[in-house]
Amino acid sequence: MLKKINLEDAVGTRLAHDITEIRPGEFKGPAFRRGHEVCNEDICHLQKLGKNHLYLIDLADDEIHENQAACIMAKSLAGEGVRWEDDPKEGKIGLHAAMDGLLNVDAAALAAFNMVDEVMCATLHSHTLVKKGELVAATRAIPLVMKRAPVERAAAIAAQHGGVVFVKALKKAKVGLVVTGSEVFHGLIEDKFAPILSGKVTDLGSEIAGVSFAPDDENLITAAIRSHIDSGCDLLLLSGGMSVDPDDVTRRAIRMAGAQEVHYGAAVLPGAMFLAATIDGIPLLGIPACGLHHRITVLDLILPRILTGEKITKKELAFIGHGGLCKDCPECSYPHCPFGKGM
């Protein structure tokens, strides 16, 4: 229960909640923290903040303060790889990445949580690369004082999923790269694919264990794939030969090499002719020629997920279509753009 008192009568009382100050373009945050003892010098400041009254709180057994509610919810929302700060400010608590890695948000659980009245949680987009300590989500109770039941119900929804926000570390993979195409193999044109793909791999903390070149010959491409597997690579990237052109034989060679669960085609532009498969449990990704022209493609959306150990199936390649259209801006601002953000 809240009891209203006149500001001039509040000297000597302790604040029941943080009081926010906003100075446009300069500051937004607590001018006074919960528990602060009001003194005469505070009165003018509080009046400038629009406070002519303050409130004392006497909680009933079935009621809860916003700060306590935020702590309960943050604890339930934080999954593996996420920590939360036990210091609510203005009733809010931030959840932070406990390590460098890839953020994963259980969108269905998040929606169910937010369907509970008077509570909320907001997150970054799922599959965002984050750094240790980075804010990935925040939660709060919306009223200053609320019933306990909704808080407990929301927390139970999050807890039954083991949390709602997670951060997974990217493993350091040994990557075997096969560049296909007779024009490159025979030296008619200079290869541009290997440097591009090598950069994407090393930027994510993995290493290129070996690079092979093969002409448009099924047997030679198959041999190159098996050679990388035999040498201990735990991820394979193949460039070129992914189109519908009859001369592009890379897909057939991948099957000949023993690929299982071959998924050809992704709901992404650029990158529709992307391929995902596994050979002997080792993930294999086929990158179409768009990777030569576009700075960012389907590979940039999928590769981090592969490096967390996620298995990419037809479902993932279908769901990626929401947000999978690159606007092909004259000046690329990825990842600070809509591309890949609807997953």
156-165 pLDDT tens trace: 999 999 999 9
Specify whether domain 63-168 bears CATH 3.30.70.660: no
Structure-token pair, residue 65: 């303060």
Q: CA 240 to CA 291: how far, in whole Å? A: 9
Q: CA 322 to CA 320: how far, in whole Å? A: 5
Q: What angle in degrees, to the nearest 10, is found between the helix axes of 148-159 and 66-77?
A: 10
Q: Name the region of 273 (left: φ>0; alpha: ψ -120 to 50; beta: rest).
A: alpha
Partners of 283 in the β-ladder? 278
- Domain residue ranges in the chain: 2-57, 63-168, 174-319
CATH of 174-319, one of 3.40.50.1820, 3.40.50.12640, 3.40.980.10, 1.10.287.130: 3.40.980.10
pLDDT at 180: 95
Q: Is 90 or 206 the better-scoring residue by pLDDT?
A: 206
pLDDT at 16: 80
Instruction: Kindly tell me if the per-residue pLDDT of 223 is higher than 90.
Output: yes
Give 9-60 pLDDT, tens digit per residue. Answer: 788 888 888 888 898 988 888 888 888 888 888 888 988 889 888 877 888 9
Specify whether domain 2-57 bears CATH 3.90.105.10: yes
Angle 77-162-169 (CA atoms, 0-180°, nearest 5)? Answer: 85
Note the pTM of the prediction, 2 decimals.
Answer: 0.88
Let me know if 93 is exposed, middle or buried by CB neighbors in 10 A (0-12, 13-18, 19+): buried
Residue 197's pLDDT band (cuts 50, 70, 90): very high
